[in-house]
Structure 1
Amino acid sequence: MEPWLGAALGYIKDWLAFQVAVSEQPGCIIAIAHRGEIVLEAAFGHANLDSGEKLTPRHRFRIASHTKAFTAAGIMRLREQKRLKLDDAVGQYVKDLHPEVAAATISQLLSHTAGLIRDGKDSGQFTDGRAYLDHDELLAELKLPPAIDPNSRFKYSNHGYGLLGLVIEAITGEPYPAWLQREVIEAVGLRETAPDMTLLGKGLPFARGHSRTVPVGRRVVIPGDNPTNAIMAAAGVVATAADTARFFAQLAPNAKKSLLSVASRREMIRRQWRVPQDIEEAYYGLALMSGTTAGFDWFGHGGGFQGYISRTSVIPAREITVTVLTNALDGWAPAWANGVKFILQAFATNGAPSRKTRDWTGRWWTLWGAIDLVPFAAQVMVANPAFINPFIDAARIEPTGRDAGRIVQATGYASHGEAVRRLRGKSGVSEIWLGGARIRPERVVKAEMERKYPKGRRKKDV
């Protein structure tokens, strides 16, 4: 492992712990793989707020639409076995469909361009309003015409992936979950993954979902253990963050170990359609979304299940895979996955700490909040751990002595050009002055705030 990556992993863990705390999220697990091997696993918060159960890296989550990549890997495996072609019409394998649905190709279903309805006439299956569609209910809805013309735009469809599950069953003659477990999950060496909650072994740790704090005024626990039935191929998989990262790492074209050929992996990743949205520039291939963040080209997928939000990003150029799982409907997984990319880029660009900078580190506080001193090869950045990109507009310190330095870069509103000095006590550095700003350990600032602003001082309204 490159020195910069080891340093980045240490800061990522500290930064994410802070993010979970200040966002008051129930829980979060992160797993990072490098060249297919897990190099960081960390869990924060709770698996169940009602019971107080602590979250661990071994807890399984509903990873929801990450499932689509598992299904697509199965389809590509069948294609490599010459049991189907991507331009085959789906009606060749599944009968009693609407003629326009039957004419949709497997490729169109994989890329969400068949024009099919997203979640059916009653999407309450994704809001705990009803059970997920069973086989007959899904087929009944697939007898209706597509919502829009095929190949006219990217239009996400869980029904389309439910239909791909039926294609796999028609070709293999086996139930989708049994075939997926053997031919995909076990074939790639995953031991903490199941095709659906109903197939998760008894007694294994499972993180419960949670609502937002509104409208109830508190987070309610959402069991998250309902079967996905005929929508399993779109949203059923249950897994740990580590297994999720391992699986997606194997989809990179430069992965040394994979279930699929390099050609199949390249085809899955290729940007076929731009995703119409304003939130971020994104594209879609065959069950894989992609984009560019923090200067990294990435691919992966996200997931949203009642009570859970998740995101995985693979950075092929660095052979790094990042999976973030959260167990709340307002989970910050997508933002935190991006934050990890920003941190990785900062360390990849600026290098690991040197002998000159490495002890200029730690989390320091003022009334305004926390500041992280993060050492790199030549300079020390003054990071804000409350930001998704903690290094945006970060001031840079150049140490000039053991306890002296200078702010050599800062925004126009900061203390550019001013001196930095560290003061020491019996146990080491006790406080730091950044220009005119005094920063101290959390316990010191906390005690001072409690003393200066006691709760009983507040006057009642007259």
Structure 2
Amino acid sequence: MEPWVQPAIDYFRLWMDFQIRSSQQPGCIIAIAHRGKIISEFALGHANLVTGEKMTPRHRFRIASHSKSFTAAGIMKLRERRRLRLDDPVGHYVEGLHPQVADTTIGQILSHSAGLTRDGADAGQFTGQRPFLSPRELLAELAVPPAIAPGTRLKYSNIGFGLLGMVIENITHEPYRTWIEREIVETVGLRETEAATPLARAAPMAGGHTPLLPLGRRLVVPGDIPQHAITPAGGFVSTAADVARFFAQLSPQAKNSVLSPASRREMTRRHWRNPDSTVENYYGLGIMSGSLAGWDWFGHSGGLQGYISRTAMIPACDLTIVVLSNASDGWAWFWLDGALHILRAFAKNGAPTRRVRDWTGRWWTASGATDLVPMGNRVLVGSPVMGNPFMDATEIEVTGRDTGRIVQAAGYASYGQAVRRSRSKAGKVIEVWLAGSKLRPEKAVIADMERRYGHGRPARR
């Protein structure tokens, strides 16, 4: 493992601690794998705001559309066994489909280019307003023509992946859950993952939560709602660590995998660009992909009532990052982007040298927090409230034990000015002067703010 990886993870955890506090999100669990092995996992916040149950890395989450990557792996496994081909019409395996649906191919459905309806005529199953579709109801949705012509663009479809579950059942003559858990989940070695609820093994389940608005408070959403025929599209339950293990072994460069390198390359290849999207991203076969901070990534995301999740595997450094959040307005997308920015900054600058290593910590003023983050032979001034804490970051060159100078800064910052640290009689750093700004520990700033502005009453909104 490169020397910069561990200090990057250490700062990411510190950044996440600030994020979970400032965002008022219920909780999250995060896992990072290097070459398929978990090198960090941690939990923040609460699994259930009503009971006050603390979050742990062992709590299970609904991982929603991450399920599609498991289903896609199952289809590719059947392809390797010559039980199907990607250009086979789906009507060869499932009866009762509209003729135009029957003519769409397995590959088109896997890549969301079959033109099928996204969620059916009534998407209330995804907002708790009705049960998820039964097999009979799913077939009824597929008895009508596709919404658009197949093979023309990326058009996401949960209904399509429900249909792929039927393909698996009709080929294997087994229930989808039974086959996918044995052939994919257990073969990969995942011990905290199940394809559907109710869970077969007793395990702690993180409660989902409603958005903070419009109620102004959060309610707990049950995590055990069965998804019936939509299970192959969004029914899986797992932990961040297991999700990281699964996606790490999907990398074409992974030494051990449930699939051949050729199948993994085909899954992660960019088949379709996401049209009409501000951020450039792509879809493969059950796999999302894109680029951020100069790194290509592949993975998936998931959103189900009460839960938001996201995964990115970065082949360039063989790292896989998973963020699972337990609220409908969860910040998993934002936080994973932040992780990539942090990792990229450390990869560029390197692990801190001995000279700057102790120039660290979170320091405060009444205006907020500032992080001193040593990298390479400099100290970066990070803003933990930002999605990219090092965007246009001020950089300090250390000139002595407790002295430095700002050698890189934006025009509105304090370029060229001095930095110094003050110590107590015991030798502990108690203040940082960043140019003319005095930064102190959180407790000292809290006491000062209470004295100046508190007056015993909370401020009104």
Normalized against structure 2, the TM-score is what? 0.98
**Corresponding position of 2:144:** 144
Structure 2 unaligned blocks of 5 or more: none
Deviation at 1:458, TM superposition (A): 8.9
**Corresponding position of 2:365:** 366
Normalized against structure 1, the TM-score is what? 0.98
**Corresponding position of 1:278:** 277
Deviates more, 1:30-39 or 1:191-200: 191-200
Partner SS, residue 144 of structure 2: coil
Q: Does 1:377 align with 2:398?
A: no
**Corresponding position of 1:101:** 101
Give the letter aligned to residue 375 of structure 1.
Answer: P
Partner SS, residue 198 of structure 2: helix
CA distance in 1, matches of 2:353, 2:46: 37
Quickly say closer, same or farther: Cα 1:430–1:383, change in 2 above 3 A: same
**Corresponding position of 1:289:** 288
Give the letter aligned to residue 395 of structure 1.
Answer: T
CA distance in 1, matches of 2:249, 2:276: 28
Deviates more, 1:210-219 or 1:297-306: 210-219
Q: Is this contact kept in 2: 1:4–1:347, CA < 8 A?
A: yes
CA distance in 1, matches of 2:56, 2:235: 21
Give the letter aligned to residue 174 of structure 2.
Answer: E
**Corresponding position of 2:391:** 392
Quickly say closer, same or farther: Cα 1:167–1:364, change in 2 above 3 A: same
Residue identity over aligned pairs, in percent, reads 62
Partner SS, residue 187 of structure 1: helix
Partner SS, residue 3 of structure 1: coil
Deviation at 1:176, TM superposition (A): 0.3
CA distance in 1, matches of 2:204, 2:395: 44
**Corresponding position of 1:72:** 72
Deviations 1:86-121 (A, max 9, x none): 000000000110000000100000000100000011
Deviation at 1:257, TM superposition (A): 1.0
Deviation at 1:216, TM superposition (A): 1.6
CA distance in 1, matches of 2:103, 2:48: 45
Deviates more, 1:273-282 or 1:70-79: 273-282
Deviation at 1:279, TM superposition (A): 4.2
Partner SS, residue 310 of structure 1: strand
**Corresponding position of 1:157:** 157
Please list every run of at least 4 consecutive aligned residues from structure 1 whose deviation after the TM superposition is greater than 6 angstroms: 457-460
CA distance in 1, matches of 2:210, 2:455: 31
Partner SS, residue 164 of structure 1: helix
Give the letter aligned to residue 434 of structure 1.
Answer: L
Partner SS, residue 144 of structure 1: coil
Report how many aligned residue pairs link the two structures. Answer: 459
CA distance in 1, matches of 2:133, 2:333: 28
**Corresponding position of 1:338:** 337
**Corresponding position of 2:421:** 422
Deviation at 1:382, TM superposition (A): 0.3
**Corresponding position of 2:6:** 6
Partner SS, residue 159 of structure 1: helix
Q: Is this contact kept in 2: 1:200–1:238, CA < 8 A?
A: no
Give the letter aligned to residue 147 of structure 2.
Answer: A
Quickly say closer, same or farther: Cα 1:458–1:81, change in 2 above 3 A: closer
CA distance in 2, matches of 1:16, 1:432: 23
Q: RMSD across aligned C-alpha pairs, in angstroms?
A: 1.2
Quickly say closer, same or farther: Cα 1:350–1:59, change in 2 above 3 A: same
**Corresponding position of 1:446:** 446
Give the letter aligned to residue 352 of structure 1.
Answer: A
Deviation at 1:3, TM superposition (A): 1.3
Quickly say closer, same or farther: Cα 1:200–1:410, change in 2 above 3 A: farther
Partner SS, residue 381 of structure 2: strand
CA distance in 1, matches of 2:161, 2:375: 46
Deviation at 1:200, TM superposition (A): 3.9
CA distance in 2, matches of 1:244, 1:186: 13
CA distance in 2, matches of 1:366, 1:175: 59
Partner SS, residue 140 of structure 2: helix
1:30-179 aligned at under 5 Å gives the runs 30-179=30-179
CA distance in 2, matches of 1:230, 1:356: 59
CA distance in 2, matches of 1:102, 1:454: 68
Partner SS, residue 56 of structure 1: coil
**Corresponding position of 2:260:** 261
Partner SS, residue 375 of structure 1: strand
Deviation at 1:278, TM superposition (A): 3.1
**Corresponding position of 2:193:** 193
CA distance in 1, matches of 2:176, 2:128: 23
Deviates more, 1:423-432 or 1:169-178: 423-432
Partner SS, residue 21 of structure 1: helix
Q: Does 1:183 align with 2:183?
A: yes
CA distance in 2, matches of 1:459, 1:357: 40
Deviation at 1:377, TM superposition (A): 1.4
Deviation at 1:215, TM superposition (A): 1.7
CA distance in 2, matches of 1:458, 1:207: 32
Deviations 1:119-165 (A, max 9, x none): 01111100000110011110111111111110111000000000000
Q: Is this contact kept in 2: 1:31–1:322, CA < 8 A?
A: yes
Give the letter aligned to residue 35 of structure 1.
Answer: R
